[in-house]
Amino acid sequence: MAKSEPVSARHVAIIMDGNGRWAKKRHLPRALGHQRGVESVRRVVRGAREMGLEALTLYAFSTENWRRPEEEVSDLMSLMKRFILSDLDEFAAAGVRLKIIGDYKAFNARRRGTGQGAVARTAGNTGTTLAVALNYGSQDEIARAATKAAAKGPITPESIAAELDTADLPPLDLLIRTSGEVRLSNFLLWQAAYAEMMFTEVLWPDFTAEHLRQALEDFSTRDRRYGGR
């Protein structure tokens, strides 16, 4: 069969990994690695917008990341809150729709309020959707979705998919993980069924919009067969 025309990705997800190792290599505190990681988020969100991606899903905090020392968890929480608040004006002006996936019930009322306020403010935007995964675990997401689906009728792949946190996003095209780890760490297990995967040694604080552009270019040359031929 003739190779299909290059296609562009609509939905890209990134496991932003390697902040700790980035800091360690420089004998800097981990918190600084996370701070620099936020700079990468800014660059990549801008890039995604400019490249016309419909959706970018970023893994910011997993259901397993609560196992980290309290100080690191609290550093991460305040960084994320500050990021959302400081960049909200830019998102709003640039047409970015902010979305939060994961189980928000774990957060206190004040944090939930901040998140929900930011989401509400950009809800009418029609540009790139930025989905931030907070207290996100794919197994938890599937269990929540299956519970909702079962309450409505028979459980089928479609009825579960319709209840996933990502139900309103385009199908996942490309999943990128930085820092050389080759695993999914409980991220988008269902959605990754036919996603293309890309693993790079680049540590997240070193990841730029140019890396994203290259990943999209690589994606456009892949032959996705979905089990057919």
Could you give the dihedral angle defined by the CA atoms of residues 98, 104, 107 and 111, in that order, rounded to the nearest 10 degrees?
A: 20
Least CB distance to Mg ion at residue 36 (A) = 14
Neighbours of 36 (CB within 10 A): 18
Give the list of residues 6+ apart from residue 20 with CB closer than 8 angstroms, or none.
30, 33
Residue 165: contacted member of Mg ion, ligand IPE, none (CB under 5 to 8 Å, by partner type): none
173 binds Mg ion (CB under 5 A): no
Residue closer to ligand IPE, measured from CB, 76 or 198? 76
Residue 60: contacted member of Mg ion, ligand IPE, none (CB under 5 to 8 Å, by partner type): ligand IPE
Least CB distance to Mg ion at residue 161 (A) = 28
Residue closer to ligand IPE, measured from CB, 72 or 159? 72
AA identity, residue 96:
V
Count of residues engaged in binding Mg ion, rule: CB under 5 A? 1
Q: Buried (b) or exposed (e) across 154-174, using 16+ Cβ within 10 A? A: eeeeebbbebbbbeebeebbb
Least CB distance to ligand IPE at residue 178 (A) = 8
17 binds Mg ion (CB under 5 A): yes
Residue closer to Mg ion, measured from CB, 62 or 122? 62
* CA atoms of 204 and 197, how far apart (whole Å): 16
Residue closer to Mg ion, measured from CB, 22 or 83? 22
**Residue 196, phi then psi, degrees to nearest 5:** -80, 150
Give the footprint of ligand IPE on this chain (CB under 6 A): 15-21, 59-62, 65, 76, 179, 181, 183, 185, 204
141 binds Mg ion (CB under 5 A): no
Distance of alpha carbon 215 from its chain centroid, rounded? 15
Q: Which two tokens stand for residue 49?
A: 């917008």
Residue 59: contacted member of ligand IPE, Mg ion, none (CB under 5 to 8 Å, by partner type): ligand IPE
* CA atoms of 80 and 14, how far apart (whole Å): 16
Return the active site residues. Answer: 17, 65
Least CB distance to ligand IPE at residue 35 (A) = 11
The binding site for Mg ion (CB under 5 A) comprises: 17
